[in-house]
């Protein structure tokens, strides 16, 4: 091996090592950003809410109300409005969802009739679309699948409620102790 070949090999090795280190650094940086994204978004949302709620708090503070009381009053009004809207909307949503669940078999039958009317000239396709109870049992989820989904939705609802609680606490703290 000549000195020129040895020099070219060392330069190639250093270039490849730098490229690998650069790729690893970029990968680790992106991985860190991905891991921090949820936390950064959480605090961004909390600060946006705090910025939006700060003017009424400052107005109450300007009218000789202590800041902590003003924050609690504004948050209490928002909570009351949210609960009031929920009290008005949630029962109607439950009623509509239960009505839809009761009417699913009728909708399936109606859809089958319309498909059969459209396929009058195709008897083989019409035979495949005939309604039978076994098909309905296969279309609707089993009790085990339904319970699994209910459990999953319950956990998602619990996680969402916990997220909302921590977000509310962060917003209240940020409003009570603003950065100067």
Distance separating alpha carbons of residues 63 and 18, to the nearest angstrom: 63
pLDDT number for residue 174: 92
| DSSP secondary structure letter of residue 129 | T
In a domain, 59, yes or no: yes
Instruction: Please identify every stretch of the chain with a pLDDT value under 50, giving residue numbers as ranges.
Output: none
pLDDT number for residue 47: 93
Q: Considering only the C-alpha atoms of the chain, give the largest distance between any 2 of them, rounded to a whole number of Å.
A: 87
Domain extent at residue 134 = 39-176
In a domain, 22, yes or no: no
pLDDT number for residue 179: 74
Domain count, the chain: 1
In a domain, 149, yes or no: yes
**Average per-residue pLDDT for the chain:** 84
In a domain, 13, yes or no: no
In a domain, 151, yes or no: yes
In a domain, 44, yes or no: yes
3-state secondary structure 32-79: HHHHHHHHHHHHHHHHHHHHHHHHHHHHHHHCCCCHHHHHHHHHHHHH
pLDDT number for residue 126: 66
In a domain, 29, yes or no: no
Cα Rg of the chain, angstroms:
31
Distance separating alpha carbons of residues 8 and 27, to the nearest angstrom: 28
In a domain, 11, yes or no: no
- What is the total residue count of the chain? 180
pLDDT number for residue 62: 94
Side-chain-side CA neighbours of 124 within 13 Å: the count stands at 0
């Amino acid at each position: 091996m000549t000195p020129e070949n040895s020099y070219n090999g060392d330069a190639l090795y250093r270039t490849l090592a730098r490229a690998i280190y650069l790729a690893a650094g970029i990968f680790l940086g992106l991985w860190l950003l991905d891991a921090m994204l949820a936390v950064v978004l959480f605090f961004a949302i909390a600060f946006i809410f705090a910025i939006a709620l700060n003017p009424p708090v400052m107005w109450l503070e300007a009218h000789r109300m202590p800041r902590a009381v003003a924050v609690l009053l504004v948050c209490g009004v928002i909570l009351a409005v949210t609960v009031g809207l929920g009290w008005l909307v949630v029962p109607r949503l439950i009623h509509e969802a239960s009505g839809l669940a009761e009417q699913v078999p009728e909708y399936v039958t109606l859809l089958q009739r319309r498909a059969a009317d459209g396929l009058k000239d195709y008897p083989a396709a019409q035979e495949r679309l005939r309604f039978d109870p076994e098909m309905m049992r296969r279309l609707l989820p089993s009790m085990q699948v339904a319970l699994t989904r209910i459990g999953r939705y319950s956990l998602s609802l619990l996680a969402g409620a916990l997220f909302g609680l921590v977000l509310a606490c962060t917003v209240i703290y940020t409003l009570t102790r603003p950065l100067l």
